Amino acid sequence: MPSSAAIETGVAIEKGSSLGRDAWARLKKNKMAMFGLWFFVAITSICFLLPLLPFFPDPNATFLELKSLGAFATATAKDGSTQFYLLGSDNLGRDIFARIVHGGRVSLTVGFIATAVSLLIGVAYGATAGYLGGRIDSAMMRLVDILYALPFMIIVIILTTFFGNSLLLLFVCIGAVEWLTMSRIVRGQVLSLKNQEFVEAARSLGLSDRAIIFRHLIPNTLGPVIVYTTLTVPAVMRLEAILSFLGLGVQPPNASWGSLIAEGADRMISDPALLIFPAIVFALTLFALNFLGDGLRDALDVRASKD
């Protein structure tokens, strides 16, 4: 029976050499990236957890007699209960803060799910093309080249106008648009990995192509994939915001950051708070994610400008 000290030492050595730990240590040194990380965690928690509180105001409740309150205003409703407006209210008396939080939930959900869709398609497609190689690879990548040339915004607009404005469709549309770059990155990685000895070993052990791709190759491409995923989330959120701005995304009375900004832009002169608050939150979130992505790229030592 081995002594407990030996086990402990073994564990300590293994932990010390972990790749993830090294990357985390490097990331922690990058102040802007850490700001991005914490800001993103904070804004996500606020958007998803705050509305669960019992006293959180209903974002769609209208009080016409209370239109356009300023920030930090308190109003007394007809039944005598008081309501506090952190960022004031819009022209229908709706709480701007509550609407931004709820809008954020929609924008972030679209960002996460559409990115997940693009991740699934892109990684599976790229890994398959890179691993199989030869003619199949060039045919698959030719297809990606052709799709790159398609005016995708146009396809998304056609799909959303023709099949109605469901959120589900929005996820699928955006996800289906964003997978191309991901597939190129993964393919490049797999091409450089597939001739290494560990793949040879796996094959000689009799593993199927599928098992080699999904169990051995894909886990080794994680670095660039994580970096690109971090940068895809803000890109997707921008796309959703553009669609909502054009009236093709989230439908009223529900809101996303894009539709809030669109509403605010309409009443910019009479009520600038309606544009400024959602625009600041949206821009800061994208800012944070971009810095986090850049920081992760440095920390995981992925070569820049590789797409």
Partner 1 sequence: MSTPAYILSRVAQSVFALFCIITITFFLVRLAPGGPFDDDRAVSEHTRAQMDAYYGLDKPLPLQYVKYLGNYIRGDLGPSFGNKGYTVNEVIAQSWPVSVTIGLVGLAIALGIGIPIGVFAAARPNSKTDYLLMSIATLGICLPTFVIGPLLAAFLGLKLGWFDVFGWENSSAWMLASLTLGLYYAAYIARLTRGSMLEQLSHDYVRTARAKGVSPNATLFKHAFRGGITPVVAYLGPALAGLIAGSFVVESIFGLPGLGQHFIKAAKNRDYTLILGTVSVFATLILAMNLLVDIVQTWLDPRRKISS
**Residues that bind partner 1 in the complex, under the rule CB under 8 A:** 146, 148-155, 157-159, 161-163, 234, 238, 241-242, 245-246, 248, 258, 261-262, 265, 268-269, 275, 279, 282-284, 286-287, 290-291, 304-305
**Least separation in angstroms between CB 187 and partner 1:** 15
Site of tokens 């008396």: 93
Q: Which is nearer to partner 1, 32 or 75 (CB)?
A: 32
Q: Which is nearer to partner 1, 97 or 291 (CB)?
A: 291
**Least separation in angstroms between CB 170 and partner 1:** 15
263 Cβ contact list (under 8 Å, min separation 6): 90, 255, 274
Q: Which is nearer to partner 1, 8 or 145 (CB)?
A: 145
**Least separation in angstroms between CB 197 and partner 1:** 27
Q: Which is nearer to partner 1, 155 or 222 (CB)?
A: 155
Q: Which is nearer to partner 1, 217 or 233 (CB)?
A: 233
Secondary structure (DSSP) of 234-289: HHHHHHHHHHHHTTSSSPTTS--HHHHHHHHHHTTTT-THHHHHHHHHHHHHHHHH
Which tokens in the block code for residue 165?
């404005």
Q: Which is nearer to partner 1, 6 or 269 (CB)?
A: 269
Residue pair 256/103 in contact (Cβ under 8 Å)? The answer is yes
**Least separation in angstroms between CB 127 and partner 1:** 22
**Least separation in angstroms between CB 157 and partner 1:** 6
CA distance 238 to 263: 16
Task: Report CA-CA distances (Å) from 289 to 28, 31, 194.
Answer: 15, 13, 32
Burial class (CB within 10 angstroms; exposed 0-12, middle 13-18, buried 19+) of 110:
buried
Which tokens in the block code for residue 83?
């309501």
**Least separation in angstroms between CB 208 and partner 1:** 32
